[in-house]
Structure formats: structure tokens, C-alpha cells
Structure 1
Amino acid sequence: MEGTSILHGFTNIYFAIFALFCFKLLIKISLALLTHFYIVKGNRKEAARIAEEIYGIVPGSWADRSPLHDAAFQGRLLSLKTLIAQGFNVNLVTTDRVSALHEACLGGHVACAKVLLENGAQVNAVTVDGLTPLFNACCRGSVACVNMLLEFGANPQLGNHLASPLHEAVKRGHRECMEILLAHEVDIDQEDVQHGTPLYVACTYQRTDCVRKLLELGANVNVGKRLDTPLHAAARKSNVEVVILLTDYGASLKCRNADFKCALDLAAPNSKVAQELLLREGPASLAQLCRLSIRKQLGRSCLYAVHKLHLPEPLENFLLYR
């Protein structure tokens, strides 16, 4: 009887321990869901507070920004100086490796960025997405930030695995930032794997001022994204002004992309771009008429079949090209 009572007591203890374990697990799951909810809603500060208090995580090491990040992004120079004086590390980063300098440049706050740099902030710090402070400055279009970062040793031309500040400046239409980078000997024809050359990006996003300046500075008018040329991009976007600029600088009307299409093939029928391209080509030759007739009657698949016929090269060129 006494043994049964002892066994029953141990069983109750085990059940109590198991119940406590389940309760703690439930709390952790609930807190994880709550922090995820705050992150999704954009309230990363509250999510970080929960994580720091409950899990004992060191402030600033989780996915939230520190007070230093907030002060830098909002341009609160006095607060930033006070925090640095209190001992905050200027190179403190979040889990995705965003530094206070990244935030200052993204906000275009040159005074805050300067204070951070003067106190040892890493000018070429890279986030998990491959973004540098210089990239953020170009994204914002802050000429002052771009100039200052370069003075402090920012690398204007990065490897293929990092986001290109030049391409971002062109994409956003920040011509002055683009010119500053090019003045620091950045390769004007650098081809980004995802976006192509700066000229191709300018044509894709219809940044006419950037297109004009890039051409004036000597950008290769026929190099774009793999087989796609800047003229292909301009024709696809139906931007007649850019098409005129490109053709004035010698863009080839005969270049074909991976789909075996030239710029005229991508232009909307009877559009101003199509008319301009036809005008630049001149009167239709017999070869052009033959090619257009083949496309209309047999379709594009027959053009590929021509290669398999092993025709003499002059005849094949006559059927496929102008």
C-alpha cells in the first residue's frame, strides 16, 4: 500500500513536470507567432522588445533596428551624437546586416552619415541582400551622400554578387549620381546579370536623360542584356525619343535577340516607333519582303527550320536577314 502511494506521488510529479514543459512550449510558440505578427505588420521595434525581454537576446542583435538605426534614418543628428557618446557601436547591425550608415544614406541624411563615418562606421558594409551605403545613397538620389561616401573610400564598382550603385542610380533616373560614379572610373558598360548594362537599364525604365548622357560618355549602343540590345528595350517600351537617340548613335537595326527578333519585330504595329524604325531602314528590299512574307505565311518556327535545310550561306542569309 505504501509502495503504491509512493509510485502515485512520483507519477504526479512527472505529470506536473510534463505539464510545465508543455506550458512553456505553448508560451514560446505564442510569443514566436506574436513577434512574427509584429514583423509582418511592420512593427519590428515591438517584436524586438519581446524577443529581448523574453529570450534574453542582446539589444540590436535581432531583426530590429537599434535606437542608433532609428536616429540615423530619421535624420536626428543630436540624438545620434548622444547615442554614440553613450557608447553605442556605430557598426551595430541587424540580423540582415543593415547598419546605421545604411539607414542614414537611405534617408539622404548627409550630416548623420558623416558623423557615423567620422566615428568609424564601415563605408563598404554589405547587407545580406548585397546592398552597400553607396547603393542606398544612389537609390535615394542624394548627391551629397554619394560624394561623401566616395571621399571616405566607398568602392564605386562592386562585384557581380553585389548590387550595383550605378545601375540603381540609372534605374531611378538620378543622372547626377550616375555621372559622379562614372567620373570615378566605373565601367560604363558593366553588365549586371539581372539588369544588363546601365544603358539597357536606362532604356528599360525610359530614363531619357540618362540614355542621352550615357551615349555622350561613350556607352556601347549595342550592348544590353545578353542578346537583347538597348534598342530592343526601347522598341518594347514604345519610346520613340529613346529609339531616335539610339539610332542616331549607331544602334544596329539588324541585331536579333534570343527569340530571333529585331527591334522592329518588338515595336507595336503602326506605332511611331515602328514608323521610325522603318524610316531608318530605308525602302524595303527584296530580302525584307521575302522574310516578312515567310513569317506571315509559315510562322516563326519555319525560320528555325531554315537552319536545318543546310542551304548555301548566301541563300540562308537572304531568307533570314535583311
Structure 2
Amino acid sequence: MSCRDAMASRGKIAVLLINAGSMLKLRTAEEEKRSCEISQLRQAVLQNNDRLLDEMLCQEIYKKVINCRGGWGIAGTPLHAAVSKGHLSCLQVLLAHGAIIDCVDVKAQTPLFAAVRGKYLDCVLTLLKAGANPNGSSSNNCSPVLTAAREGDAEILKQLLKHGAEVNSRAKVLLWTSSARVSSGPLYLAAVYGHMECFKLLLLYGADPDYNCTDAKLLSSDKQPKTVLEMCLRHGCGVEYIQLLIDFGANVYLPTLIIEKSTKQNEAVELLLRERGNPKALTSQCRLAVRRHLRKINKINCIDQLEMPTSLINFLQHKAAPVTVL
């Protein structure tokens, strides 16, 4: 390239940079005002000043940005900010002024997901009653149910399940191995983190006791997928977890771990062997059959509404019979 061509090329580059700089300044000027308004809304939320927030949202300039994410370093909307701090009154104001309930932040997390993660039950209930999707966003790798099961928050988990959350929830992004993909559902998480109440709650609401997964394609991708029962044995979960899985119909013939000499779960293994050698009682088999049918027709949450004696309803819900004092 000649010296003259090089000079011409540099001149063109300089012009392009000047034009780009001018456009950047124009965009920044246009966005700066909006960013300031979003920031002011966010500050009112973070200060839990619901009265000021209400006054601001009565003005069109603030109403326009109610569903906007913040500026640099701000991942979510004012609604995300409210639930992340547990500011219920601000959450209610935002919803009353038309905030989108299932808006997502930069990680595709909905406000409900943030409320579950923060363990703010009142915010969770408010969002669910207002129509929030109990499964969160399909674009996010995790889900509210998975988070609640891992954190051991039984009351929040119960509310999610009562409002129709998927009990066999799966991580959206597949993990490295097929066995990890299959065994990473909420039932598995509740067990390995030692959250017995959540574990039983998931089973009561119809969690699959074998794989905690209903994705046939995912299950078929591994020649020997690991069951929840086997993973509980591997992780040293207490015998009460094994007993619950058996009671809720887990296939006791699937695990192969019990033949390994290295296992230290002697009591759990003995329980499993006894179960293999003795058929289930007819009453237990009837309970499993009824519960499977209710789960199939998506009515597992309606057991307490069945027209039958309370004692039978309690039996279907695995509740102990009351002790009669003579």
C-alpha cells in the first residue's frame, strides 16, 4: 500500500470513529433520562417507600419505565428489586400500577424466582395469587421448585406445588453426564441436602420416586440411569429417606449399589433387602394405585376433596392414624 493510500484509509477510519462517537453520544443522551427515572423508581423501592413509589407511578414518565431493567450493573426491574429485599408493600404498589408479573432479569429469572431465593413467603404468596407462573421462566436453567427444595424451605415449596408447579422439575441445561441429568431433580436435592420435610412434601405432591423425571427422551439417553433410591444410598442419606421412597412406590429392584462392598449404608441396605423379599401389603398397593391414577389425571392435589371417610383420606396422604385413648 502506498503512503497516499494509507493516509486515505486512516482518514476514512477517523471519519467513521467520529460518526460512531456522535451516534453514541446521541444514544447516551436519550437513554440517560430514562436511566435516571428507572434509578429513582429503584431507590424508592430499595428504601421501601411505598407512598413515594405510588406517587411516582401516577406520573407518566415513571409509568413508562415500570418494567424496564436498570442501567449499568442493574440486572432486573423495580419488581425484582422489591422482591429481592422482601418489600411487600412496594411489590403490591408495583402490581397495582401494572408491573409485568413474569418479567425476567438478565439471567431470565422472574420476580417469583427471586422471592423464593430470598425466602420471602409473603412475597411468594402475593405473586402466586396475582398469577405468577409457579415454574418461573422456561429460559432460566433453574426453577423455583428446585431452589426451594435445595434451600429446604418447606412452606414456600408447598405453596409452589399447591399453585401447580411441576413436581418433577428439571434443570433446563443438561449436565455433563446422563446420570447427573436424571438424578438432579428436586427430590434428589431435598435428600442430599437433608431436607426431610421437603422430601416428603414432594412425594405427597406426586414426585416420581424412581427418577423424579418424566422426560422419556432424557431417561433413554443413558443406558443405566441412577434412581433417586440409589443416589440416596450413595450419598449416605438416612434410612428414613429410603423408607419413604419404598412407601411411595420406588422400584426396589433397580439399585445396583447394594452389591458394592464399599457401601456403609448397612441399615438402609438391610431394609431394601427385606423389601425385596416380602411383597407389599394389599392396602399399600391399593394406596399406590389410587395415587398413581390421581397423578395421571393431574388431581394428586385434590385428595382431601374426595368423598370418602377421613381415615381413608389420611391413609392416602400417608398420615398416621390418630391414637385412640381408652
Name the TM-score class by shorter chain. 0.5 to 0.7
The alpha-carbon distance between structure 1 residues 223 and 58, as it changes in their structure 2 partners (threshold 3 A), is: same
Shift of 1:284: 11
Contact 2:45 2:90 in 1 (8 A): yes
- Aligned pairs (5 A) from 1:1-322: 55-56=28-29, 58-59=31-32, 66-85=39-58, 87-88=61-62, 89-94=65-70, 98-158=76-136, 160-162=138-140, 163-193=142-172, 194=174, 196-224=184-212, 226=219, 227-240=225-238, 241-255=240-254, 262-264=256-258, 269=263, 271=264, 273-282=265-274
CA distance in 2 between partners of 1:126 and 1:53 (Å): 28
**Which structure 1 segments of 5+ residues have no match?**
1-13, 29-50, 257-261, 286-322
Partner of 2:319: none
Instruction: Summarize deviations over 1:38-80 as a string: whole Å, max 9, x none.
Output: xxxxxxxxxxxxx999953613867x97232243245332443
Q: Partner amino acid for 1:187? A: E
Shift of 1:93: 1.4
Shift of 1:149: 1.2
% same residue: 26
Is the partner of 1:130 in helix, strand or coil?
Answer: coil
CA distance in 2 between partners of 1:105 and 1:61 (Å): 22
**How well do the aligned residues superpose, as a CA RMSD in angstroms?**
4.0
Structure 1 stretch displaced more, 225-234 or 110-119 = 225-234
Length, aligned pairs only:
240
CA distance in 1 between partners of 2:227 and 2:146 (Å): 16
Shift of 1:113: 0.4
Is the partner of 2:126 in helix, strand or coil?
Answer: helix
CA distance in 1 between partners of 2:68 and 2:268 (Å): 55
Is the partner of 1:239 in helix, strand or coil?
Answer: coil
Instruction: Summarize deviations over 1:204-247 as a string: whole Å, max 9, x none.
Output: 33321100112233322112364232223322331214233323
The alpha-carbon distance between structure 1 residues 85 and 213, as it changes in their structure 2 partners (threshold 3 A), is: same
Q: TM-score, normalised by structure 1?
A: 0.60
**Which structure 2 segments of 5+ residues have no match?**
1-6, 175-180, 214-218, 220-224, 278-326
Ranked by relative contact order (alpha carbons within 8 Å, sequence separation 6 or more), the top structure is: 2
Contact 1:268 1:274 in 2 (8 A): no
The alpha-carbon distance between structure 1 residues 52 and 183, as it changes in their structure 2 partners (threshold 3 A), is: farther
Q: TM-score, normalised by structure 2?
A: 0.60
The alpha-carbon distance between structure 1 residues 158 and 139, as it changes in their structure 2 partners (threshold 3 A), is: closer
The alpha-carbon distance between structure 1 residues 78 and 255, as it changes in their structure 2 partners (threshold 3 A), is: same
Is the partner of 2:32 in helix, strand or coil?
Answer: coil
